[in-house]
Amino acid sequence: MLNRNRIVTAAVELIEREGADAVSMRRIAAELGVGVMSLYNHVPSKAALLDAVAEDVLSRIGFTDDPSAHWTERVRIQARAFRRIAHHFPRSTMVVVSRQLGSTAGLLPVERALATLRDAGFDGREAVRMLRMFIAYVVGSLLREVGVTPTFAPVRADAVIAEVDPALFPVVSELRPHLDSCDHDEEFEFGLELLVQAMAVRAAARADAQAGDGAGERAGHGGARQ
């Protein structure tokens, strides 16, 4: 019996195996051993199918939230959980971020994240902003990571070794070794730590302002250090 679930799982398998460009209704139907038009009894259109793929991938995020841990650690864990599924479905991740899905899929991670931020002491407005900023960073990072497509990419490794004129781009050519290599794990953790620390000083500033009230709010809007 054909049903929606079999179709979307076949779709993500196909995407992971041969890339998003290889996805066609005929291809999926062949994969399932059914006629093409049978798919349309369970899925209204190809666009809707891709939306379903995105939701499916999103819903696979593991929710190992430990409310007893410090909120900074909970933030790290949630970010890594997001990243893990992206690495599990790298090519599908591209369709996830490419589509604007106005559904409630992946609402549970949002719930967890907001709860964590509330526990950190942020009010509603700040919590939402922090979350949005965090998602922006994570999505941007994943986009770069999966864009480089570690899976099945005979990529133009030659292209990145293209010459750059040291006269025109002195800094770039000086930092060439650092720009060419990229340990994705380390890079992600680096940015993650920076963001978490930034959030921590914000939270501390909030606590100070709330306690002292009047003094010590310099860290709130000025530079935290400089």
Binding site for DNA (CB under 7 A): 1-2, 23-27, 34-38, 40-42, 45-47
* Contact status: 69 vs a second copy (CB under 8 A): no
Residue number, 34 or 101, with CB nearest to a second copy: 101
Token reading at 174: 């000086």
Token reading at 43: 């899925």
Size, binding site for a second copy by CB under 8 A: 70
Residue number, 17 or 70, with CB nearest to a second copy: 70
- C-alpha distances out from residue 51 to 17, 214, 215, 222, Å: 19, 50, 51, 43
Residue number, 39 or 57, with CB nearest to DNA: 39
Question: Buried (b) or exposed (e) across 13-42, using 16+ Cβ within 10 A?
Answer: ebbbeeebeebebeebbeebebeeeebeee
Using the rule CB under 8 A, give the single segment among 37-45, 50-58, 79-87, 127-135 that binds a second copy: 127-135
Chosen residue from 36, 48, 69, 175 binding a second copy by CB under 8 A? 175
What dihedral do alpha carbons 27, 45, 21, 134 form, nearest 10°?
-130
Q: Do the Cβ atoms of 163 and 124 come closer than 8 Å?
A: no
**Distance from CA of residue 210 to its chain's centroid?**
33
State the amino acid at position 197 in one-letter form. Q
* Contact status: 114 vs a second copy (CB under 8 A): yes
> What does residue 106 show for φ and ψ, rounded to 5 degrees?
65, 25
Question: By the criterion CB under 8 A, which residues form the site for a second copy?
Answer: 70, 72, 94, 97-98, 100, 102-104, 107-108, 110-111, 114-115, 118, 124-125, 127-129, 132-133, 135-141, 143-144, 147-149, 155-156, 159-160, 162, 164, 168-172, 174-175, 177-179, 182, 187, 190-191, 194-195, 197-205, 223-226
